Amino acid sequence: MTKAVILAGGHGTRLRPLTNIMPKPLVPLAGKTLIDRLISTLPETVDEIIVAAGYMGKEMEEHFRNFHCQVEVVTEHEPLGTAGALFQLRQRLNDTFIVLNGDVISSLNIKEMIEFHRKKKAVATISVWTVQDASSFGALRLDGDGRINEFREKPRFPEPGPSPINAGTYVMESEIFDYMDISNLSLEREIFPKLVNGRMYGYSFEGYWIDCGTRENYLKAQSLLLEMEGHTVHSASRLNGCVINRPLGIEQGARLEGARIGPNVYIERG
């Protein structure tokens, strides 16, 4: 069995004003919270889920109080960074484990990524996506075997053209903690560069990938999910004199009058 850690300690400042009233992982996306969507991508072999929370940790705990599976929320009392959040859990992560950034949706098959990781006998495997501009991401260079031989976090002068980047999901061995100490706060800036040309690999995938940390990408993700999942108008909703533009979703109990709705809109019950 496998453990999974979801990194959700940030304040979500780029998603304000939504994150003034809720933590970023609880922002709704087409009827489900962002973190619920992340959890739904985990393979069945995952038997323990730990959420490393910070901002609005109590709201996160309340969300999982009656959740359909066991989720533990560990709240940071001061920012620990991506590596620090894992380092405090090191006694519990004594085998292969999964780490997910809490603000990404994607078509990544994590089960297949774990198989790749074990085949390569890697210390860490990073999910890899390709973008045209890597300046806002962790830019990677891989050899023909998938080994990562360069890692640059948010390069000021990225190479022109398509570039593979860190897509924010990792499979790791407990050996990763040999590269950490209490002063190491960032996986991206302090830990991954130490593993370059070693047992760190990249797992590329196709389909879709969106970092939902900005308002623009949040709207992009909502549109994509509405299109893919085929949401519709619930028969028990009340719509009087409305014009409907799909794709959209309207839940049971929603009431609308004289409105033009959609496209790319989701209205929850009540």
Q: Are 240 and 256 in contact (CB under 8 A)?
A: yes
The secondary element (H helix, E strand) that includes residue 72 is strand 71-75
Rounded to 5°, the CA angle 231-6-47 comes to 90
Whole-number Cα distances in Å, 36 to 24, 30, 83, 201 = 12, 11, 23, 27
Supply φ then ψ for residue 3, to 5 degrees. Answer: -105, 150
Q: Which residues contact 36 (CB under 8 A, 6 or more apart)?
A: none
Q: Which residues contact 214 (CB under 8 A, 6 or more apart)?
A: 14, 15
In whole angstroms, what is the distance from residue 47 CA to residue 32 CA? Answer: 22
Active site residues: 154
